[in-house]
Amino acid sequence: MHPVIPGIGRGVSQGTLAFDGDIADEVFDRHQPGQLRKLRARSKFISRDMYRYELMEDSGSGFGLLLDLEYKRSDELSPFPPVALYAARPAQNLAAFGPLAGPTWRSKDGAESAQTTATFEWIPYIEAVRARMLRPAERGESEPLLDVCVYLHPRSNAIHCLALSNGGGVHEGRLAVLGDGRLSPAAGEHGCPSPRSFVVRCSGTRSRVELDQRVRQDLHR
Domain count, the chain: 2
Element (H, E) at 76: none
Domain span at residue 63 reads: 2-72
Q: What pLDDT sits at residue 220?
A: 52
Residues 143 and 209 in one domain: yes
Residues 89 and 198 in one domain: yes
| Residue 101 DSSP code | S
Residues 7 and 92 in one domain: no
Q: What pLDDT sits at residue 176?
A: 72
Residues 114 and 163 in one domain: yes
Number of Cβ atoms within 10 Å of the Cβ of 102: 13
Mean pLDDT across the chain, nearest whole number? 78
Q: What pLDDT sits at residue 145?
A: 83
Q: What pLDDT sits at residue 115?
A: 72
Report which of residues 198 and 174 the model is more confident about.
174
Cβ pair 46, 69 in contact under 8 A: no
What is the CATH classification number for the domain harbouring 90?
Answer: 2.40.128
pLDDT at 37 over 80: yes
Q: What pLDDT sits at residue 26?
A: 96
Within-domain flag for 187: yes
Q: What pLDDT sits at residue 203?
A: 47
Residues 156 and 61 in one domain: no
**Looking at residues 28-37, what average pLDDT do you find?**
93
Question: For residue range 116-140, what is the model confidence (pLDDT) as tens digits?
Answer: 788 888 888 888 888 888 887 766 6
pLDDT at 170 over 60: yes
Report which of residues 197 and 184 the model is more confident about.
184
pTM: 0.73
Q: Give 7's pLDDT tier (boundaries 50, 70, 90).
A: confident
Question: For residue range 53-112, what is the model confidence (pLDDT) as tens digits?
Answer: 999 999 888 999 999 999 999 988 877 766 655 667 777 778 777 777 777 777 766 555
Within-domain flag for 142: yes
Residues 106 and 192 in one domain: yes
Do strands 159-165 and 206-212 pair parallel, antiparallel, or not at all (unpaired)? unpaired
Please provide the DSSP assignment of 111-142 as one string: -GGG--EEEEEEETTTTEEEEEEEEE-GGG-E
pLDDT at 12 over 80: yes
pLDDT at 10 over 70: yes
Residues 190 and 166 in one domain: yes
Alpha carbons 212 and 210: distance in angstroms, whole number: 6
Alpha carbons 37 and 155: distance in angstroms, whole number: 12
Alpha carbons 181 and 99: distance in angstroms, whole number: 14
Residues 143 and 45 in one domain: no
Q: Give 113's pLDDT tier (boundaries 50, 70, 90).
A: low
Alpha carbons 152 and 150: distance in angstroms, whole number: 7
Return the closest-CA partner of residue 185 out of 193, 194, 175.
175
Cβ pair 211, 205 in contact under 8 A: no
Return the closest-CA partner of residue 1 out of 155, 156, 151.
151
Return the closest-CA partner of residue 129 out of 90, 79, 165.
90
Return the closest-CA partner of residue 14 out of 151, 120, 210, 186.
151
Alpha carbons 71 and 135: distance in angstroms, whole number: 38
Residues 104 and 22 in one domain: no
pLDDT at 158 over 80: yes
pLDDT at 39 over 80: yes
Cβ pair 201, 208 in contact under 8 A: yes
Q: Give 18's pLDDT tier (boundaries 50, 70, 90).
A: very high
